């Protein structure tokens, strides 16, 4: 459960490549984004941040490795 409505579960404020940082939202396999989360994604992407939804620990690990290696 997030603290602020819509804000990603993890904010990695480390710039890589063309991105200012990475925002990660965790969802179960059957989970979905709320409208507030979709609005947040649109706002941060417009400001040069990467936004991703992950649905497993393995997917999260791959994303973090790929992001930090870029």
pLDDT, tens digit (0-9, with 9 covering 90-100), for 13-38: 999 999 999 999 999 999 999 999 99
Task: Give percent of the chain above pLDDT 90.
Answer: 91
User: How would you class 23 by CB atoms within 10 Å of its CB: exposed for 0-12, middle for 13-18, buried for 19 or more?
Assistant: buried
What CA–CA distance (Å, rounded) separates 38 from 16? Answer: 23
pTM over 0.85: yes
What CA–CA distance (Å, rounded) separates 5 from 37? Answer: 8
Q: Which domains does the chain have, with CATH numbers?
A: 10-69 (3.40.1350.10)
Q: Which helix (H) or strand (E) holds 19?
A: none
Task: Give percent of the chain above pLDDT 70.
Answer: 96
**What mean pLDDT comes out for the span 40-45?**
98
């Amino acid at each position: 459960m997030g603290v602020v409505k819509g804000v990603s579960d993890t904010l990695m404020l480390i710039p890589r490549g063309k991105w200012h940082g990475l925002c990660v939202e965790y969802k179960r396999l059957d989970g979905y984004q709320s409208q507030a989360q979709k609005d947040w994604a649109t706002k941060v992407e417009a400001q040069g941040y990467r936004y991703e939804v992950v649905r497993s620990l393995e997917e999260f690990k791959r994303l973090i490795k790929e992001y930090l290696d870029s």
